[in-house]
Structure 1
Amino acid sequence: MDVMEAWVTGLAGGCAGMSVDVALFPLDTVKTRLQSEVGFVQSGGFRGIYSGLSSVIAGSFPTAGLFFFTYEGVKVVGREFLREDLEPVLHMTAASSGEMMACLLRVPVEVIKQRAQTTRFSSSEVLRKTLTMEGMRGLYRGYVSTVLRDIPFSFVQYPLWEYLKKTWSSIQGSPLDPWQSSICGATAGCIAAGITTPLDVAKTRIMLAETGSALSTGSITFVLKTVHRESGVRGLFAGVVPRMLWITLGGAVFLGVYDKSKLVISSILIEPG
C-alpha cells in the first residue's frame, strides 16, 4: 500500500466512522443507559439523548481512519505470506490489529461519551473531572475490556463481511456496488453484535463504575459474574436489541460508506494523476 492509497484508506474510514456515529448516536445512548448499573431511568431515560455527542464528533473520524489504515495495511502485507485458502485468518488478524490500534483513540472517547450519556455533565465537564480525579489513566479505564470485546466482534464481522461480498460478487459475476456491500456489512454486524453483547455489558460497567470500586478494576470475569449474579442471563444481554439494531444499521452505513468513499476519494486523489 503506497502513500496515496494509505491516505485514501484513512480518509474513507474516517468518513465512514463519522457518518455512522453521528447518525445512530441516539440508539447508542439508549443501549448505554440500559447497560448502566443504576438502570435506564436513573441514567437519564430518553432525556438528553445526544449527551456526549461532541466527544464522538471529535474522535470518530481519526479512530475509524486509523482502524482501516491498519486493517488494509495488514491485509496487503499478509497476502505475501499466506495462502489464499487462509484468507479468513488474514482478515481476522487484520481486524484485530486494527481494533487494537483504534482503541488507543476509541477508549478515551468512549469513556467521556458514556459518562456524559449517563450523567448531567457535558463532555468537556466529564473530561475535566476525569483528568482531575483519575489522570490520563482514567481515560483508558476499560481499554483491555474494550479490546477483548472488539477483537471477538471483529473475528466474526470482518471475515463474514469479506466472505459475503466475495460470494455475492462471484454469483453475479462482477464487483459489488456500495449498497450491496452495505447489506453484507449489516448482516455481518448484526450477527457479531448479538454474540458479543455480554462483553459490551462488561465494558460499559467498567467504564461507568465509581473510582476505586470493585467493578472499576477492569476484570471482565469479575464483572460478568457480578452481572450474572444480580440479573442472570438477561442482565448479560442488557441492551442487546438496541445494540444489534445500532450495529446492523451501523454496519450498513459504516461499511457501505467506506467502500463508496474509497471510490470517490480515489477518483479525486489518484485517477487525475
Structure 2
Amino acid sequence: MSQQQISLPAKLINGGIAGIVGVTCVFPIDLAKTRLQNQRQGQQVYKSMMDCLVKTVRSEGYFGMYRGAAVNLTLVTPEKAIKLAANDFFRHHLAKDGKGLTVFKEMMAGCGAGMCQVVVTTPMEMLKIQLQDAGRLAAQQRKPAPQAVSATQIAKELLHTQGIQGLYKGLGATLMRDVPFSIVYFPLFANLNRLGKPSPEESAPFYWAFLSGCAAGSTAAVAVNPCDVVKTRLQSLNKGSAEEAYDGVLDCVSKIMRKEGPSAFLKGAGCRALVIAPLFGIAQVMYFVGVGEYILDSSPLRLLSA
C-alpha cells in the first residue's frame, strides 16, 4: 500500500499508538532532560542524566520518574497524529503528477506539520514541565518530595488566573523548536528510508524505517536543542531561589548567554536525543507497518463507514 492510499483515520491511529508506546518507554529520560535544562550554574542538583534518575527514585520513588506522564499520554495521541498526518497531507499536495518531492518541498511539508502540531504541543509541554520540575525545586530547597498535583489542577488554575493564553505561554519558543525540527526531521527521514528500499515500488523493511526514524529524530533533536532549552525555561512557572524570570524569547536567550554561556544551550541534548530517537523510530514503524489499517479492516465499524 502506498503512503497516499493510507486513510486519515489509519494515520491517526498509527500516530496515536506510536506516541503512547514511545512516551511510556522514554518518559523518565524526558523528565531528566527537563530538570537538567532548568538547572542554573552554582545550583546544580544533578550532575548527569543517570545522577538525576537515581536521585529522583531515591527521593520520589519509582513513579517519581513518571511525573507528568499522564498529561503526555493523554495529549500525545492527537499531537503525534496531527504531526504525521499533516506532513503526509502536505507532501501529497506538494507532489505533482506523482513525481517525487524535491528536498525543498519536503522541508516545506515538514514546516507545515510543525506549525499544525503546536496547537496541542504547547499546552501539553506547559503542563508537563510544571509536574516534571517540581522534584528539582524541592531537592534544591532541601524539602521533602512535593505532594502530587494533577495537570487538571494546574490547567484550571492557569485558566482562572491567566485565561487560555496561560496554557499557551511559550508558544513562540515552541514554534521555534518544532518548525525547524520538522523541517530537518521529515526530509532526512524520507531520504534515509529511501536508501533501504529494495526497489522504488517497494517499501523499506520495518527495521530500516525504525533506524531511519531514530537517526533522523536524534539529529533533529540535537539541532534544535537550544530552542528547547529556551522553551523549557519560559514555560517553567515556579522558580528556585535566585532563579531569574524571563520576559520573552530574546530576554531568555540574552540572560542565558550572559550568565551561563553558550554551553547552557546544549543542556539536556543527550537526553533529548535518547527520547526522540526511539519515539520517532517507533512512530515510523507503526505508520509504515500499517497497524491503523489493520485495526480498521478488522473493525465492524469499517462496514458502516464504507
Q: Same fold (TM over 0.5)?
A: yes
Q: Distance in 1 between matches of 2:295 and 2:150?
A: 38
Which moved further from structure 2: 198-207 or 245-254?
245-254
Cα 1:68–1:228 shift into 2, 3 Å:
same
Counterpart of 2:117 in structure 1 is 102
State whether residues 24 and 246 of structure 1, in contact with CA within 8 Å, keep that contact through their aligned partners in structure 2: yes
State whether residues 198 and 204 of structure 2, in contact with CA within 8 Å, keep that contact through their aligned partners in structure 1: no
Which moved further from structure 2: 67-76 or 163-172?
163-172
Which structure has the bigger radius of gyration? 2
Alignment match of 1:241 (pick from 260, 267, 270): 270
Residue 190 of structure 1: how far off its partner (Å):
1.4
Residue 268 of structure 1: how far off its partner (Å):
4.3
Counterpart of 2:163 in structure 1 is 135
List structure 1 segments (4+ residues) > 6 angstroms apart after TM superposition: 1-4
Counterpart of 2:87 in structure 1 is 71
Q: Is 1:166 matched up with 2:194?
A: yes
Q: Deviations over 1:93-126 (max 9, x none)?
A: 2222112111101111110010111124332232
Cα 1:71–1:9 shift into 2, 3 Å:
same
What SS does structure 2 have at the residue aligned with 1:19? helix
Which moved further from structure 2: 41-50 or 116-125?
41-50
Counterpart of 2:296 in structure 1 is 269
Alignment match of 2:69 (pick from 46, 53, 56): 53
Q: Distance in 1 between matches of 2:88 and 2:259?
A: 42
**Which residues of structure 1 form unaligned runs of 5+?**
none
Q: Distance in 2 between matches of 1:3 and 1:50?
A: 37
Counterpart of 2:247 in structure 1 is 217
Alignment match of 1:114 (pick from 121, 126, 129): 129
**Paired positions, count:** 268
What SS does structure 1 have at the residue aligned with 2:179? helix
Q: Distance in 2 between matches of 1:16 and 1:31?
A: 21
Q: Is 1:41 matched up with 2:57?
A: no
Counterpart of 2:210 in structure 1 is 182
* Alignment of structure 1 residues 76-95 onto 2, 5 Å: 76-80=92-96, 84=100, 86-95=101-110
Cα 1:33–1:40 shift into 2, 3 Å:
farther
TM-score (norm 1): 0.87
Cα 1:6–1:232 shift into 2, 3 Å:
same
State whether residues 214 and 278 of structure 2, in contact with CA within 8 Å, keep that contact through their aligned partners in structure 1: yes
Q: Distance in 2 between matches of 1:79 and 1:264?
A: 25
Which moved further from structure 2: 226-235 or 106-115?
226-235
Q: Distance in 2 between matches of 1:175 and 1:204?
A: 38
Cα 1:144–1:181 shift into 2, 3 Å:
same
Residue 265 of structure 1: how far off its partner (Å):
2.4
State whether residues 13 and 61 of structure 1, in contact with CA within 8 Å, keep that contact through their aligned partners in structure 2: yes
**Which residues of structure 2 form unaligned runs of 5+?**
47-51, 135-145
